[in-house]
Structure 1
Amino acid sequence: MKILAIASAGGHWIQLLRLKPAFEGHELIFVSTKKSFKDTVDGYEFHSIPDASRWNKMKLLYSLMCVLKIVFLSRPNIIITTGAAPGLMGIIAGKVIGAKTVWIDSIANVENISMSGRIATSIADRSYTQWPDLSNSKVTFNGSVLS
């Protein structure tokens, strides 16, 4: 099974790395917004994409094109993300190629699902929150990545 794991920098990346043991025995490809993160996933395929947010539409579009290229070329079976915008782009690209998609909302979102998470929840095959109070019929609580 080929898994593409994508997250932006900071806590999103740290939470994604905490999931790495769950992917043992599978081909794993990492994607993030900082080239230096390649060192944190030594031995795995890694791609760097430009960081983007809703505040810069042109950069957001360019980042989406980069994610689409990686997804189309690698053809993963599953795309998993801990957010934010790059992860949402991964979920969108995954749906285009028919991959299974999993969104895990950041533990930082204590009171509400993130904006990207709300969008991803309507697209992803599975959506998770790390807070029991935020679970509902579309978003599952199954514990937290950071404990």
Structure 2
Amino acid sequence: MKKVVAISSIGGHWIQLLRLKPVFEDVQMVFITTKASFKSMVSESDTFYVIPDGNRTDKIGLLKAIKTLFVIYRKEKPDVIITTGAAPGLMGICVGKLLGIHTIWLDSIANCEELSMSGRIAKKIANTVYTQWEHLATNNVKYKGNVLK
């Protein structure tokens, strides 16, 4: 059975990530976020991890998250990593790429005029990048619809 890591920060990124769950009915799911109480939002059959939070102004938090992600990925051995962002998701695909894991970035629907800052970075790292806005699609950024309707 395939194993998918789904990782994001809290808030809208997490809600969008959860909306993808029906796509992964036949895989083993591993959810990663920065808030322990979000475990109640995933099924008991899913694996759940909390990583330290960090962002561009909290580089120590990012380094702690990266270290934790290496440990989780080595333990779980996922086939695919998918994220809706932001910084935790970007760190997640960076670590995944270093370990040779297929990575997917789904840019937030909130970014309707251009890709998010993290999305612009992810475009250079992730194996596949999706936008939720058709007019933002390019040769290397795909559009297949949005997850919030």
Fold agreement, TM-score > 0.5: yes
The answer (yes or no) to whether the contact 1:75–1:97 under 8 Å persists in 2 is no
Q: TM-score, normalised by structure 2?
A: 0.95
1:53 paired residue number: 55
1:1-147 matches, cutoff 5 A:
1-43=2-44, 44-147=46-149
The answer (yes or no) to whether the contact 1:67–1:86 under 8 Å persists in 2 is no
The answer (yes or no) to whether the contact 2:4–2:78 under 8 Å persists in 1 is yes
* Cα displacement (A) at 1:42: 2.6
The answer (yes or no) to whether the contact 2:104–2:128 under 8 Å persists in 1 is yes
Separation (CA, whole Å) in 2 of partners of 1:140 and 1:58: 33
* Cα displacement (A) at 1:108: 0.6
Structure 2: 5+ residue stretches without partners: none
| Matched residues, number | 147
Instruction: Quote the RMSD (CA, aligned, Å).
Output: 0.9
Q: Deviations for 1:49-105, whole angstroms, at most 9, x for unmatched residues?
A: 111110111111111111222112211000000000111111111112211110000
Structure 1: 5+ residue stretches without partners: none
Q: TM-score, normalised by structure 1?
A: 0.97
* Overall identity of the aligned pairs, in %: 52
